[in-house]
Amino acid sequence: MHLDLAIDPVELTAVLVDVPSVSGNEAILADAVHDALAAQAKHLELARSGNTVLARTNLRRPARVVFAGHLDTVPVNDNLPHHRTGTGADLVLHGCGTVDMKSGDAVLLTLAAAVRDPTHDVTFVFYDCEEVEAARNGLGRIERELPEWLRGDLAVVCEPSNAVIEAGCQGTMRVEVRTSGRRAHTARAWMGENAIHAMGTALRTLADYRPRRVDIDGCQYREGLQAVGIRGGVAGNVVPDACVLTVNHRFAPDRSIEQAEAHLRDVFDGYDVTVVDRAPAALPGLAAPLAQQLITATGATPVAKLGWTDVARFAALGIPAVNFGPGDPTLAHTKAEHVAAAQITACAAVLRRFISS
Amino acid sequence: MHLDLAIDPVELTAVLVDVPSVSGNEAILADAVHDALAAQAKHLELARSGNTVLARTNLRRPARVVFAGHLDTVPVNDNLPHHRTGTGADLVLHGCGTVDMKSGDAVLLTLAAAVRDPTHDVTFVFYDCEEVEAARNGLGRIERELPEWLRGDLAVVCEPSNAVIEAGCQGTMRVEVRTSGRRAHTARAWMGENAIHAMGTALRTLADYRPRRVDIDGCQYREGLQAVGIRGGVAGNVVPDACVLTVNHRFAPDRSIEQAEAHLRDVFDGYDVTVVDRAPAALPGLAAPLAQQLITATGATPVAKLGWTDVARFAALGIPAVNFGPGDPTLAHTKAEHVAAAQITACAAVLRRFISS
């Protein structure tokens, strides 16, 4: 299929949305992106890895900006093809991927084709499998196989952020807190030891926990410590010998993974604690000169990113990274996903200003 | 098949054990019991209801004793036919039903055939479906359809009790304690309300709970309040909006079901409490003259029954009821179920003494 990168990014969003690309099935869209860049952005060096398409300038500018957008979406939920409501300045595009994140991809693709003489060198990464387990993530594969393509002085991940810079991201860690006991018939409960009862103190600790609020580079990160699951029990007349509480901790970027784990072991002192999932936080990195330029281009004050995104990968590589893209992140993954055309237009204008001035 | 009720109750136990009679499949055994009583205990009035066989004297004695034993077993667990270890006074019978409760049935069947001129009128109830849901219980069916067959001044349920009188039984009640909250993404936990955290106080209440010990008729009943299950959780990154704790309460026979429920609502004040299962306790009733005679016949001090048995049905009818039978109740429902022949012999001797003197 053919993509015209010269059209308005709002219209290009609609075209991209109507090419289904659920994680693992990005080939048609990746081919189209590759072919469009090859034909319509001849000033860019192109590369391909699986269903990830990479493009960059080599202008020996003093600094390089890496722009990243994933091509995949969560499963379609009876919300394709796209439809429209409103007109003109009130136009809204509805459908799977309008927010997360084909509107961001459209902004990047038009930018890639249109700005042939940017003031910074630019790299574009359109990657696959962001919406599934981390091991399949296309950006992770590029990091392993083509690491030089991720080098730069600022990374802009165009995940939905309501067209405001969302800086850094919180880390996330999931732990299992376990208690053990001894089974017995409930008619002779004193012969057993109840593992569910033993979880009471841990739950009270959670209820009483006061999460930190951490200010970094003017962004406030609100931490969190939440039970997300609990299970235990053998039968209706048996004192249970095991209980498992799953807890999700979101931590501010002033803490490493190791520090976050140490904190959880301290909070649940006396319990058996196992880390089952973890991803590092990313510092906002807004002090970087390029980040300051991007802030100026937006004309707005950055806010903290609360969820976890691939900016953390760039931060782990030592590259300041921000989220900046059209769409309300709380609509991502919902059937009612929709984006205001005005946000797409605004993002495109900001990024064009950023790399042209 | 033919049952000889004149043989030693130990040998009759072995014969009964080798006729499989898992709940719902008691027909062959019930037929054999019926035919044996008809042919070998002509002094008894016989009745049949489904796979329940009833037999009684009508001698106009001043008092009547009701003896009850269920014919069914839990599913066979690779433990049939029976096998033997030891000899003489150390003989042990192994196999499904040796404890629960074909040894008790054998004691009752030999008693029914042998004692033709008892000092009390006697009623024997051999019933089906005790090991399954209460609605199918054969004794419950007799209660509804042939209630006059359950009338008496003392009921002896020959459930395994190590050949000691276990008096009355505790009541049991299962409740679900629920909390509710509001879902939110864990990265924005302050927008939600965690239902698992809210369960902490209930668990601490359980951990701190001091169950009563209640003495009635010289028997001590130890109550219990135990969490037997807990569940909650939506996904690894979602503040959960519901948590359900299941609690089993065992209560002494000085409390009615209504009083036990009121107590639980008091203990879990502020929580949503639903009763999901309940069965009343039974007072030991040892002050009854016939109970005193049985105690004398055993020559031992009665103890409290802690589990729930069908004695509660008799107690609910106003009939003092005790458990008295061969076998260790903690072996019931296990693959390793086995009974000492000496306990069978002892029980048979006690009951013969009881209704002959």
Residues in chain A with CB shorter than 8 Å from the CB of B231 are: 230-231, 233
The string of pLDDT tens digits covering residues A170-202 is: 999 999 999 999 998 888 899 899 999 999 999
Q: CB distance B237–A224 less than 8 Å?
A: no
Please report the pLDDT score of residue A198 as a whole number.
Answer: 98
Residue B209: its pLDDT value, please?
Answer: 98
Backbone phi, psi, residue B169, to 5°: -165, 160
Nearest by CB to A228, which of B201, B230, B235? B235
| B188 neighbourhood in chain A, CB within 8 Å | 222, 224, 306
Give me the pLDDT at residue A196, please.
Answer: 98
pLDDT in tens, A122-144: 999 999 999 888 889 999 999 99
B248 → closest Cβ in A170, A186, A197: A186
Q: Is residue B173 a contact partner of residue B248, using CB atoms and an 8 Å limit?
A: yes
| Residue of chain B nearest A204, judged by CA positions | B200
Alpha helices for chain B (secondary structure H): 9-17, 27-40, 103-114, 138-145, 200-208, 257-267, 289-298, 311-316, 341-356
Mean pLDDT of A234-257: 94
- Are B236 and A277 an interchain contact pair (Cβ–Cβ within 8 Å)? yes
* pLDDT attached to residue A135: 87
**Helix, strand, coil % in chain A, rounded to nearest 5:** 35, 30, 40
Selecting among A26, A130, A223, A310, the annotated active-site residue is A130
CA distance B221 to B236: 44
Give the closest of B186, B207, B308 to A250, CB-based. B186
In this structure, what are the phi and psi dihedrals at residue B129, rounded to the nearest 5 degrees? 60, 45
CA-wise closest residue to B281 among B259, B296, B303: B259
- Is A254 an active-site residue? no
pLDDT of residue A217: 87
Which residue among A189, A222, A229 places its CB closest to the CB of B232? Answer: A229
Contacts of A228 in chain B (CB under 8 A): 186, 196, 233-240
Q: Across the interface, which of B201, B205, B226 has its CB nearest the CB of A186?
A: B226
Mean pLDDT of chain A: 95
Tell me which chain B residue has its CA closest to the CA of residue A249. B186
How far is the alpha carbon of B230 from chain A, nearest alpha carbon, in Å? 5
Decide if B197 and A190 are in contact by the 8 Å CB cutoff. Answer: no
Residues of chain A contacting B199 with CB distance shorter than 8 Å: 203, 230
Distance CA A107, CA A7 (A): 11
The predicted pLDDT at position A285 comes to 87
Find, in chain B, the residue whose alpha carbon is nearest to that of A185. Answer: B307
Neighboring chain A residues of B207 at a CB cutoff of 8 Å: 194, 197-198, 200-201
Chain B residues with CB inside 8 Å of A229's CB? 196, 232-233, 236, 240
Considering only CB atoms, which chain B residues are within 8 Å of A189?
A: 211, 224-226, 250
pLDDT reading at A157 higher than 80: yes
Task: Please state at what angle helix A289-298 crosses helix A341-356, rounded to 10 degrees.
Answer: 140
Measure Cα distances from A272 to A263, A266, A324, B188 in Å: 14, 11, 40, 27
* Model confidence at A303: pLDDT above 80: yes
Min Cα distance B266 → chain A (Å) is 18
pLDDT tens for chain B, 357 residues long, are: 899 999 999 999 999 999 999 999 999 999 999 999 999 999 999 999 999 999 999 999 999 999 999 999 999 999 999 999 999 999 999 999 999 999 999 999 999 999 999 999 999 999 999 988 888 999 999 999 999 999 999 999 999 999 999 998 899 999 999 999 999 888 889 989 999 999 999 999 999 999 999 999 889 999 999 999 999 998 888 899 999 999 999 999 999 999 999 999 999 999 999 999 998 998 888 999 999 999 999 999 999 988 888 999 999 899 999 999 999 998 988 889 999 999 999 999 999 999 997
List the single residue in B189, B194, B203 with the smallest CB-CB distance to A200.
B203
Which of B227, B234, B239 faces A194 most closely, judged by CB atoms? B227
Mutate to test the interface with B, among A172, A191, A196, A275 (most CBs of B within 10 A): A196
Which of A166, A203, A247 to mutate against chain B (most B CBs within 10 Å)?
A: A203
Contact (CB, 8 A) for B310 and B130: yes
Chain A residues close to B240, C-beta within 8 Å: 227-229
Q: Residue A184's pLDDT is what? A: 86
Mutation target for A interface from B237, B243, B309: give the one with most A CBs within 10 A.
Answer: B237
Distance from CA of A228 to the nearest CA of B (A): 5
Instruction: Tell if the CB–CB gap between B201 and A196 is shorter than 8 Å.
Output: no
Q: Which residues of B are catalytic?
A: 72, 130
Contacts of A238 in chain B (CB under 8 A): 228
pTM of the model: 0.79
Selected residue with higher pLDDT from A284 and B229: B229
Nearest-neighbour CA in chain A from B169: distance (Å): 10
What residues contact residue A109 under an 8 Å CB cut-off, 6+ apart? A3, A5, A9, A12, A33, A36, A37, A124, A126
pLDDT band at A342 (very low <50, low <70, confident <90, very high): very high
Residue A50, min C-alpha distance to chain B (Å): 30
Residue B214 DSSP one-character state: E
Chain A environment of B236 (Cβ under 8 Å): 174, 228-229, 246, 248, 277
Question: pLDDT tens for residues A199-213?
Answer: 999 999 999 999 999
Give the mean model confidence (pLDDT) for residues A216-236.
Answer: 94
Pairing state between β A272-279 and B213-216:
unpaired
Choice between A20 and B236, residue whose per-residue pLDDT is larger: A20
Lowest mean pLDDT among A236-240, A248-252, B107-111: A236-240
E-only strand ranges, chain A:
45-49, 52-56, 64-70, 83-85, 92-94, 121-127, 154-157, 166-167, 171-180, 184-185, 213-216, 219-222, 224-233, 238-239, 242-251, 272-279, 303-304, 321-323, 338-340
Q: Between A and B, how many residue pairs show a Cβ–Cβ distance under 8 A?
A: 167
| pLDDT value of residue A339 | 98
Among A189, A196, A228, select the one facing B236 at the smallest CB separation.
A228
The answer to whether the Cβ–Cβ distance between B306 and A187 falls below 8 Å is yes
DSSP bridge pairs for A45: A56
CB contact under 8 A, A233 and B237: no
Check A248 against B228: CB less than 8 A apart.
Answer: no
